[in-house]
Amino acid sequence: MVPRKLALTPALVAHVHRVVEDPGPDPHLVYHNEEDYDAVVRGLLSFHISGHDLWLFAYGSLIWKPEVDFVEERMGTARGSHRSFRLKINRWRATKDQPGLMMVLDRGGQCRGVLYRISAATVEENLGKLVRREMSVKPASNTPRWITVQTDQGPVQALAFVIDRNGRTYSGKLSPEETADMLSKACGHWGSCAEYLHNTIVHLAERGIHDQNLWRLQELVAERIARAREYWVAGSNDLSQQTANGDR
């Protein structure tokens, strides 16, 4: 359960939503093909002991949309990394006219998240699904890496998607206000960035995780959406009044 009342309510999130058609791949970019994905999987498997289960560390949307078949869920903390909105997007949950941000694992601090244990028998299949979901454009900015995650049962080696600070879509450090400005407006054919933020906070809270930075961010996003809503309503009322006066 969410420990306290969210300022970013479903009603406010709904105000950001709009129907957007998928613009499709950008002709100016190069995308991974099936051979590329298979090569990534082979590379990951070369650092994984054959016949052993694999741990996947989830810190954002993989928590509420795992995309993989797992046999165990465990809480864990990745020290030396933190979750943050620093991946620039202009598709999926944004558009070129209104860019957005997605969450990444970046250097510094620590991150409490969820570990999924994938059975050895399905490791290759699930890795294939993961890289196809998380990686699209070449070279990728959000890349799979092996990290150490601390759990109550001891440390485990886990796979996590970590931002490359030299990547083309890395935003660099933004202020909470700058981040909130983008998250409060961006929406694409997958939904809005505000929805992504709301879903992440709610599903973290269900597992007893309170991310102070995300909590402050949702307050800022809620303020901006509410302000935009008030402005829109006021403008509509003025227009209605002008129309009514004109009909007299």
pLDDT tens for residues 123-162?
999 999 999 999 999 999 999 999 999 999 999 999 999 9
* Residue 211 maps to a domain: yes
Distance from the Cα of residue 191 to its chain's centroid? 12
- Proportion of the chain above pLDDT 90, given as a percent: 90
**Nearest CA to 124 among 35, 31, 48, 36?**
48
Is residue 132 in a domain? Answer: yes
Percentage of the chain exceeding pLDDT 70: 92
* Predicted TM-score (pTM) above 0.95: no
Q: What does the pLDDT read at residue 246?
A: 58
- Amino acid 176: pLDDT: 97
Q: Which residue range(s) make up the domain with 164?
A: 10-231
- Token readout for 2 is 């969410």
pLDDT band at 100 (very low <50, low <70, confident <90, very high): very high
pLDDT at 214 over 90: yes
CB atoms within 10 A of CB 118: 23
Q: Does some domain include residue 4?
A: no
Q: Considering the domain boundaries, does residue 130 fall inside one?
A: yes
Give a yes or no: residue 248 inside a domain.
no
147 in a structural domain: yes
Q: Can you say whether the dihedral through the CA atoms of 130, 135, 139, 140 is positive or negative?
A: negative
| CATH number, residue 223 | 3.10.490.10
Give domain status of residue 104, yes or no: yes
> pLDDT value at position 230?
79
Domain count, the chain: 1
Give the catalytic positions in this structure: 134
In the predicted structure, residue 35 carries a pLDDT above the cut 50: yes
177 occurs within a structural domain = yes
